[in-house]
């Protein structure tokens, strides 16, 4: 009888394999724990639990449940933190990140699940949702209707298609998104909408909430931990069927996901720059493989990769060639700054831009001025000996910030007081060179003292509600001129904006990266599209440049998007760059320069027997935060990439970036 009872006990023993949220010896282990009797009826794969690990109580995720007794003694699971399991597709995504983005299990786990937001009895202050007046759907024009019909067919027939919705600025892509979302909700499914900037979240939320009141959750990195916990719970418990947010919202725990929309899909911010270095588009397509969800990639200026895939029928191309409001695209003027200098104009603003600003202010219309460089001056130099004031931790010049009167390093945040004499030659002739958004603001205040001016960049948006305040002020015409970096290049649909000035179109052009012209074209096109959205307010764009014959600038000024993309594809093919190959960047950091180079050289010997390896070369910024940086770059076919991920990625010392957005940084 005793033997029978003992046998029964063993039959009832259950074990769980747990991915523990902590650093372990190889960061890739699953750990086996016993399931105590009181939890056996409730334990499920995908639950978040607590366990003792090295005498610490930690959280983990249940990956597998088994009756198979391990060959070692086990500790028991302590508690189930989250009874409701995370969706099964997210467990698959955790392991996809681990393999395809070359990260540890712990890093992948923490990327998908906000473990830091979970705490026993954590209570978030209940925030009252803003009341936004419900609006009706607008009538679609023929192009919008065709695009929606194609997407609707995929949704209703479960065709699991990827669409590239390529529409000029102001063409009504958002209205197509809204119709597609309504179709998905009517079928009892859920939606993720991704935007590239946190600054776009307030206006995106307002538009979507007005159509789907009470159904939207907002997710981004500036939420407090308590807010994250509360929001995650609402999404997880099916209280909010639409999730709007930045990159990390792709991991929203929606159990019945029917549609993923990535707006402005070309943006760099959709690529995570820390391990796991994932491309959001890639994750969306992987989720599509698992769940069969529809995916919409939207942009006036898509990534060259997406354009290429659509041309080759991997994605379905949908074109919107007319503005939804029937307003015309703005008239564009290119100003050659070399001619301005010859005329004796040393101002930041060309004569024509100054005149247009004055005329626009007189008409009570609004202005957007774009410069993709914050601060006041880009470097400080001694005119006697040529000494440049450099960050002591990084091999880059300090940026002068006017408002704080400080020299600041934009890579390690080191600060210094601006010099009065040169530390090298003791000379007094110190000159501040270059232009940033703070200098533009300062000069504007001198030229137009009665104008109401706001600046939007990383420095002016440090507070969590600053994006929304700036947007609200500009939308309500409490601001006449908005100066900004790429934060203002997209998503701002304000009908009273009739003038856009691009202070320096060259600022993104001459960097050592094969995507430089593509990005310049995209930025010019996007920011130009802020002008002239009102039917009775024709738009005007002034592009200032020292390189008026550059193809990116010329094609953007003439709205020749396809011409630019087709020409750029030929260049990429000739030089063997994406989308025709896969790039892999391996970065080596070390406070000892020779050790960084040695590690890179050692790995090159390993890799060059199998792959095409470039380097080792110093990074474009060879030292950051006292750490020297060397690179290897691999150009791989699809089969070679699979070999690299399977057999070589865990044998190299450097940190690996698949599909890097910046090769030499």
Instruction: Give the count of beta carbons closer than 10 Å to the beta carbon of residue 560.
Output: 16
Beta carbons within 8 Å of 573's beta carbon, 6+ residues apart: 580
Find out whether 394 is annotated in a ligand binding site.
yes
Instruction: Give the count of beta carbons closer than 10 Å to the beta carbon of residue 305.
Output: 17
The region that residue 58 occupies, defined by phi over 0 for left and psi between -120 and 50 for alpha, beta otherwise, is: beta
Spatial contact of 536 and 494, defined as CB atoms under 8 Å apart: no
- The number of residues in the chain equals 665
Rounded to whole angstroms, the Cα distance separating 229 from 217 reads 12
Q: Where are the beta strands (DSSP E) in 113-209?
A: 162-167, 190-194
Question: How is residue 357 annotated by DSSP?
Answer: H
Spatial contact of 167 and 264, defined as CB atoms under 8 Å apart: no
Instruction: Please report the DSSP string for 374-420 in residue order.
Output: -SSBSEEEETTT--B-B-SSSSSB-EEETTTTEEE-TTT--EEPPPS
Rounded to whole angstroms, the Cα distance separating 663 from 665 reads 6
Which helix (H) or strand (E) is 320 found in, with range? strand 316-320
Find out whether 8 is annotated in a ligand binding site.
no
Rounded to whole angstroms, the Cα distance separating 490 from 264 reads 8
Residue 486's closest CA among 348, 371, 409?
371
Token pair 């024009």 is found at 141
Question: How many CA atoms lie within 13 Å of 214's alpha carbon, on the beta-carbon side?
Answer: 1
Distances (CA, A) of 551 to 321, 371, 541, 546: 21, 20, 17, 13
Find out whether 409 is annotated in a ligand binding site.
yes
| Three-state DSSP class for residue 515 | coil
Q: Is the peptide bond before 276 cis (omega within 30 degrees of 0)?
A: yes
Structure-block tokens of residue 259:
């549609």
Find out whether 101 is annotated in a ligand binding site.
no
| Three-state DSSP class for residue 604 | helix
Instruction: Give the count of beta carbons closer than 10 Å to the beta carbon of residue 87.
Output: 21
Instruction: Please report the DSSP string for 449-473 in residue order.
Output: TTS-EEEESTTTT-STTHHHHHHHH
Annotated binding site: 382, 385, 391, 394, 409, 412, 422, 425
Annotated binding site for Zn(2+): 382, 385, 391, 394, 409, 412, 422, 425
């Amino acid at each position: 009888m005793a033997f029978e009872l003992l046998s029964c006990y063993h039959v009832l023993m259950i074990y769980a394999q747990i991915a523990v949220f902590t650093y372990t010896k190889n960061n890739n282990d699953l750990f086996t724990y016993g399931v105590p009797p009181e939890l056996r009826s409730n334990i499920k794969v995908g639950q978040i639990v607590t366990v003792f690990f090295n005498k610490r109580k930690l959280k983990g995720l249940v990956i597998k449940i088994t009756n198979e007794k391990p060959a070692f003694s086990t500790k028991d699971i302590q508690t189930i933190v989250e009874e409701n399991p995370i969706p099964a597709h997210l467990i698959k995504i955790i392991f996809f990140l681990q393999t395809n983005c070359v990260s540890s299990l712990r890093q992948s786990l923490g990327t998908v699940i906000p473990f830091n937001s979970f705490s026993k009895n954590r209570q978030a202050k209940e925030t009252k949702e803003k009341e936004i007046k419900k609006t009706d759907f607008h009538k679609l024009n023929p192009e919008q209707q065709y695009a929606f019909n194609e997407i609707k067919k995929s949704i209703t027939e479960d065709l699991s298609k990827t669409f590239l919705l390529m529409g000029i600025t102001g063409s009504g892509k958002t209205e197509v998104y809204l119709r597609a979302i309504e179709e998905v909700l009517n079928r009892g499914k859920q939606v993720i909408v991704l935007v590239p900037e946190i600054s776009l979240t307030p206006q995106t939320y307002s538009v979507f909430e007005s159509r789907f009141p009470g159904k939207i959750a907002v997710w981004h990195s500036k939420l407090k931990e308590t807010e994250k916990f509360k929001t995650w719970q609402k999404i997880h418990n099916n209280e909010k069927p639409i999730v709007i947010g930045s990159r990390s919202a792709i991991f929203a725990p929606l159990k019945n996901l029917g549609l993923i929309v990535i707006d402005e899909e070309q943006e760099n911010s959709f690529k995570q720059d820390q391990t796991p270095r994932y491309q959001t588009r890639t994750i969306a397509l992987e989720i599509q493989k698992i769940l069969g969800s529809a995916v919409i990639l939207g942009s006036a200026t898509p990534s060259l990769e997406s354009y290429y895939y659509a041309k080759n029928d991997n994605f379905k191309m949908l074109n919107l060639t007319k503005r939804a409001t029937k307003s015309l695209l703005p008239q564009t003027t290119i100003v050659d700054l070399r001619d301005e200098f010859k005329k004796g104009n040393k101002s930041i603003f060309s004569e024509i831009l100054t005149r247009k600003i004055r005329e626009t202010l007189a008409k009570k219309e609004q202005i957007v001025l774009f410069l993709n460089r914050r601060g006041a001056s880009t470097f400080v130099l001694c005119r006697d000996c040529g000494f440049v004031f450099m960050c002591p931790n990084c091999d880059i010049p300090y940026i002068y910030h006017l408002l704080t009167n400080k020299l600041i390093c934009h890579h390690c945040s080191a600060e210094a007081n601006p010099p009065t004499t040169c530390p090298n030659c003791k000379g007094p002739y110190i000159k501040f060179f270059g232009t940033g958004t703070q200098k533009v603001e300062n000069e504007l205040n001198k030229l137009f003292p009665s104008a109401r001016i706001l600046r939007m960049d990383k420095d002016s948006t440090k507070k969590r509600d600053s994006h929304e305040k700036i947007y609200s002020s500009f939308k309500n015409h409490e601001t006449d001129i908005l100066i900004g970096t790429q934060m203002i290049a997209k998503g701002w649909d304000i009908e009273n904006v009739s003038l856009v000035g691009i202070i320096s179109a060259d600022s993104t052009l001459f960097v050592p990266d094969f995507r430089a012209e593509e990005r310049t074209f995209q930025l010019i096109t996007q920011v130009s599209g802020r002008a002239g959205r009102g039917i009775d307010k024709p738009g005007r764009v002034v592009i200032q440049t020292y390189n008026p014959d550059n193809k990116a600038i010329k094609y953007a000024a003439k709205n020749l998007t396809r011409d630019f993309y087709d020409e750029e594809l030929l260049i990429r093919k000739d030089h063997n760059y994406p989308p025709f190959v896969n790039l892999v960047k391996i970065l080596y950091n070390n406070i000892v320069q020779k050790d960084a180079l040695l590690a890179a050289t050692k790995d090159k010997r390993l890799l060059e027997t199998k792959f095409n390896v470039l380097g080792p070369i110093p990074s474009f910024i060879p030292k950051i935060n006292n750490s020297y940086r060397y690179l290897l770059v691999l150009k791989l076919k699809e089969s070679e990439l699979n070999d690299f991920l399977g057999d070589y990625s865990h044998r190299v010392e450097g940190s690996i970036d698949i599909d890097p957005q910046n090769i030499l940084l």
